[in-house]
Structure 1
């Protein structure tokens, strides 16, 4: 399989490195914002070339799939081009910063194109374990969190480029909530700027926020985030049930029942798993095992945009989603 990459940042490097270890997979193209960046990444692969134009890359190479690893504000035309050419793609979250992904999702469905979105928390063996445990319990509520520092890339702190922390980062926890507990029918959010605008020039994103979510099944969840800390503190989801609390982070699950606690450690690399499942799906023409298709991921996107809108207007935002 011949694979191309659009983007040359952290996640492009991460996915390309994983693909480089896979048998029968060859990364042959990188498209970047400069030829220097694109060719720099291409040199890490034996037979890859660098480009600065997506159409040129697709004209010159016959690619079996493409990975889109670009900042939030850069989505839209890239996906449209791949859809027009019928090329399956893997795209890193978030899907964008506006409502363009809704039309993209419709075109993908109309064409029957295989897609995958980088919500890697779904591929944790801990998430699979949590699903199993929750099937036997009644869920009342959940508390989610993404408490950390501010990523020091200029676009992240610009709300018009990243969409803000809840859209760009905390989206993982929103998606995990949907994956484990079901669809969301209403969102109410409160965001504030407490200190980062004074500390880091060009900061327009809120640096603290909490979002209350009502689910179709009647449960309530609250997800909070901040980027004011000097370093990462914690990210995860606590689910409160009739038998106790299930706490999930990226490497640990705690099943707390009264005074008893059982811990499970993550054993498998979710990035490796999501890549293998996507490429196997493309090869077989069967997306059955993909846990986060574009069609599904756009539902998470809708929730995060609703939260941003609610925080701006001060009003709850109702959502209509299928289970």
Structure 2
């Protein structure tokens, strides 16, 4: 399958593609300012995955169950929790049943697989939405055991899906598989949202608004992501054979934001360099895992720096750095257009937007204290499930499955380019001896 074939001639991305690719930032309201969706009928949901992304942890703000509880109130009925780790799933379910949201979970059943649930499901338990928060190694493929999207489409045609990002962390030769899944989702007009929540930030939508209202063409995007590696204690994250590496697993958010502003990337133009673990500048002093347990060829780079061209002619760059200690990350995205610069800082915790406009050399600073993009992406999904009318001002999905596959392909292109550069450098060094 060629690049043009798998991308297709239609780049709109989903069955609801006539909606605008942005949201009026004034419509993104805090969770505590939203009233529950009206109606007396139950809203059945299936959770796939009983980990941190679904039920929260001290490591980050993610917690999809919490947002759904606030969006749907007493209407929420989690009919099934799917996770092969039955004990973990039972434990998190018990905590919910011991809390004020017991009505959503008191009849929840736990299963190892989706097929187990399907075999015993009653008509009253048919879900209206399925939330997929299982690890990405089990998604985005047609290979049995890693094909959860196809299982859902087969057993629950017409049921909306929410899929966490990245859509997969499989081998690069399975990208075509992901595009095929995207085509099925589009062709069946299945409502599907992927968890690139930074698109739902008020600051990001304000940047979009400035671009649209002033009819601007983006000239350049510059992204930087420096993680606090000392706090990353999950061995799989440090192992490329399991996580696919920091660009694909972690930097994906900023690659996605770059695409969101710059447009489609000319994949053939991607170039990248890396600082590897064995190089002198790549030695880290505060790692919380024992990297000697990871095969040397699977250890992650410490720095990856990439540049590329967009189809529009604009230029993009991204640098991912594994360098900071402590717990706070340092992340920024700059967008430039004729007369304008916009810089988004600290988007994960307390977003700050710096704007410079024509006629003023000074920057305007806007701070966003009460934003919750996790809630906004869930809220928009539920609103679309409840009311699919094509109102251009209505709720909309900002990251379709097709769009997410493009970001996935892009992150793999960066990793591949950095590894080609690394191998060429190693070859030159060997030949010089």
Residue 198 of structure 1, CA deviation: 9.8
Q: Deviations over 1:153-212 (max 9, x none)?
A: 122111122111111111111111111221111311222322359943236222211111
Match of 1:192 in 2: 275
Query: Cα distance, 1:57 vs. partner?
Result: 2.2
Instruction: Give the direction of change, closer, same or farther, for the CA distance of 1:155–1:33 in structure 2 (3 Å limit).
Output: farther
Matching residue within 67, 73, 78 for 2:148: 78
Paired residues of 1:2 and 1:27 also in contact (CA < 8 A): yes
Q: Deviations over 1:132-171 (max 9, x none)?
A: 2223245332210110123321221111221111111111
Equivalent position of 2:131 in the other structure:
67
Greater shift after overlay, 70-79 or 195-204? Answer: 195-204
1:280: how far off?
A: 2.0
**Contact persistence 1:122–1:291 (CA under 8 A):** yes
- Matches of residues 164-243 of structure 1 in structure 2 within 5 Å? 164-185=245-266, 186-193=269-276, 194-196=282-284, 199=287, 200=289, 201=291, 202=294, 204-231=299-326, 232-243=328-339
Q: Is 1:134 paired with 2:221?
A: no
Normalized per residue, the structure richer in helix is 2
In structure 2, stretches of 5+ residues that fail to align are: 1-42, 56-62, 97-104, 140-145, 277-281, 423-433
TM-score scaled by length of structure 2: 0.68
Give 4+ residue runs of structure 1 displaced > 4 Å after superposition: 196-199, 285-288
CA distance in 1, matches of 2:325, 2:118: 42
Whether the 8 Å contact between 2:218 and 2:261 is mirrored in structure 1 is no
CA contact (8 A) 1:146 1:170 kept: yes
**Residue 12 (str. 1) matches residue 54 (str. 2):** yes
Partner of 1:294: 401
The answer to whether residue 100 in structure 2 is matched with residue 54 in structure 1 is no
- 1:113-141 CA-to-partner distances (Å, cap 9, x unmatched) read 11100001111111111012223245332
Describe the SS at the equivalent of 2:258: helix
CA distance in 2, matches of 1:41, 1:281: 29
The CA distance in 2 between the partners of 1:158 and 1:291, in whole Å, is 31
Give yes or no for contact 2:286–2:325 (8 Å, CA) kept in 1: no
- Show the counterpart of 1:270: 373
Aligned to 2:27: none
* Deviations 1:239-295 (CA, angstroms, capped at 9, x unpaired): 133324210131111113564121222343111111011122223356971111111
What is the distance in 2 between the residues matched to 1:111 and 1:26? 26
Match of 2:241 in 1: 160
| Structure 1: segments with no counterpart, 5+ residues | 316-323
What's the TM-score, normalizing by structure 1? 0.90
- Counterpart in 1 of 2:225? 146
What is the root-mean-square deviation of aligned Cα atoms in Å? Answer: 2.2
* Cα distance in 2, alignment partners of residues 82 and 283 from structure 1: 20
Where is the strand percentage greater, Structure 1 or Structure 2?
1
Alignment partner, residue 420 of structure 2: 313
2:363 is paired with a residue whose SS is strand
Once the two structures are superposed, what CA deviation does each residue of 1:93-132 show, in whole Å capped at 9, x if it has no partner? Answer: 0011242322211221222211100001111111111012
Q: 1:3 aligned to 2:91?
A: no
